[in-house]
Amino acid sequence: DPVSLHGQGTGHGTGQAAGAGAVSVDDLKGPTTGTPDRRYTLTAQEAKIELASGRTVDAWTFNGQIPGPELRMKQGELVEITLVNKLKDTPVSTHWHGLDVPNGEDGVAGVTQDAVQPGGTYTYRFRVKERGTFWYHSHQASSEEVQRGLFGPMVIDPAQPLRPVDQDVTVQAHTWDTSRGPVTALGTSDVLDHRTASPGQKVRLRLVNSDIVTRVFTLTGVPYKVTAIDGMDINEPGELTGRRLVTAGAGRLDVEFTMPSTPVRLAFEDAPDAGIAFSADGKGSLAPNFGGEEFDKTSYGRPASQPFGAGSTYDRKFDLVLDDWLGFYDGGFALRQTINGRVFPDAPMLMVKEGELIRVRFLNRGQEDHPMHLHGHHVLVLSHNGKPLTGSPIWQDTVLVRPGEEWEVAFKADNPGIWMDHCHNFGHAQLGMVMHVAYE
Ligand code: C2O
Ligand code: CU
């Protein structure tokens, strides 16, 4: 495939390719000394997994489970994670989606490391700056490997507990290829999952969308707050009811509520019979309501001062037009997903310098949703369709750009290296929607 970056996995040292000069990925590693506060081993291996309904998945797993184990750590800790590849013919890597780690720890096969071959191992070490809800996944042949199960949640607790909850529930929405066709589930639960929650208990839901498509979650039966988007806290979130919680592919939402004396139902639109029912006796349930207004992050919560924003002067500005392209390509009729009319590796490379403030505007002129993910940096959302945000600052690692939309975002170039910026719909990435940000 001429435009597939996911799937090469042999080109260590893309530093040269990017013209990044003397700096090589090996100079951009996490701390090599110091005793880690946490150690994890992730073993990529095959497993046959049964979903709650009895359907089976021939999965590629981390540690024999889908999703992989929840990696739990504290902000500020030094973490060491060893990847062991026990798959037969399949090279893997591991990317910490949304964590701004040093470039050499980013886990992108073909860019920041070589893919780990069957029988091989690779050790990642980094200090965790962020706190919140993140996830990890293979970044080699991502389209197939993530779909088949090589991913899991990553939860980073604050160094000091902020708002303790009685139940802290991570759910990962994913579509599995099963013995009886594709089925969308929360983890391995493709039927309604009943849980007990006593009235008055505080519940936090960490919703992770590990699918390539946009998902709509709903929470019915209780008012709630969206406390974080992509793991980043919302400033003074207000109470909501019945909203359609639109979540980008690869995006996360944290939602908190206080359990009432009546049942509460978490659901998602593409699998209305699945989800979670919370009730005092673990038996009650409630029909989901998908008919509400869409949750609007651009006016949610309250403003707070940030290191930069709409009024800042930007050192560089980039406009990126996302589009579908149908035409003659490589001797056949083909669909491509383009950035400024180009596909990887001809898509633009955004050159930046350390310390600069960068503004990027995404415009979607096509027909498909594009969850645009920048590695190694969080972007501050400046405006949507030309209108500045009026609520809480929103920091994201994955910006959903829907057809016709324009999102203006900004970031500080403070993490040298060569970073992927791509559509997290891996199908679109394979069709060309991949580019890089590189430091001069
Ligand atoms: Cu979540 Cu380039 O990845
Ligand atoms: Cu896309």
Atom of ligand 1 nearest to the CA of 429: 2
Class of domain 167-295 (CATH, top level): mainly beta
Name the pTM for this structure: 0.93
Is the CB of residue 424 below 6 angstroms from any atom belonging to ligand 1? yes
Distance 146 CA to ligand 2 centre (A): 16
Q: How, if at all, do strands 434-439 and 395-396 pair?
A: unpaired
Distance 324 CA to ligand 2 centre (A): 9
Is the CB of residue 436 below 6 angstroms from any atom belonging to ligand 1? no
Q: Is the bond preceding residue 345 a cis peptide, omega within 30 degrees? A: yes
Asked if 433 contacts 426 with a C-beta cutoff of 8 angstroms, the reply is: no
Which of 78, 127, 81 lies closest to 101, judged by CA?
127
* Dist CA 93 CA 323 (whole Å): 29
Atom of ligand 1 nearest to the CA of 375: 2
pLDDT of residue 25: 66
- CB 9: neighbour CB atoms within 10 A? 22
Asked if 357 contacts 412 with a C-beta cutoff of 8 angstroms, the reply is: yes
* Dist CA 158 CA 161 (whole Å): 6
* Dist CA 266 CA 244 (whole Å): 11
CATH number of the domain at 14-157, please?
A: 2.60.40.420
Distance 242 CA to ligand 2 centre (A): 28
Which ligand is closest to the CA of 419, given by its number? 1
What are the phi and psi torsion angles at 25 (to 5°)? -55, -30
Q: What is the pLDDT along the chain (440 residues), one digit of tens a residue?
A: 333 333 333 333 333 344 444 556 667 889 988 999 999 999 999 999 999 999 999 999 999 999 999 999 999 999 999 999 999 999 999 999 999 999 999 999 988 999 999 999 999 999 999 999 999 999 998 889 999 999 999 999 999 888 899 999 999 999 999 989 999 999 999 999 999 999 999 999 999 999 999 999 999 999 999 999 999 999 999 999 999 999 999 999 999 999 999 999 999 998 988 999 999 999 999 999 999 999 999 999 999 999 999 899 999 999 999 999 988 877 888 899 999 999 999 988 999 999 999 999 999 999 999 999 999 999 999 999 999 999 999 999 999 999 999 999 999 999 999 999 999 999 999 999 999 999 99
Residue ranges of the chain assigned to CATH 2.60.40.420: 14-157, 167-295, 316-439
Distance 9 CA to ligand 1 centre (A): 14
Token pair recorded at residue 138: 């293979």
The reply to whether CATH 3.20.20.100 applies to domain 316-439 is: no
Distance 127 CA to ligand 2 centre (A): 31
Ligand 1, atom 1, residue with closest C-alpha: 97
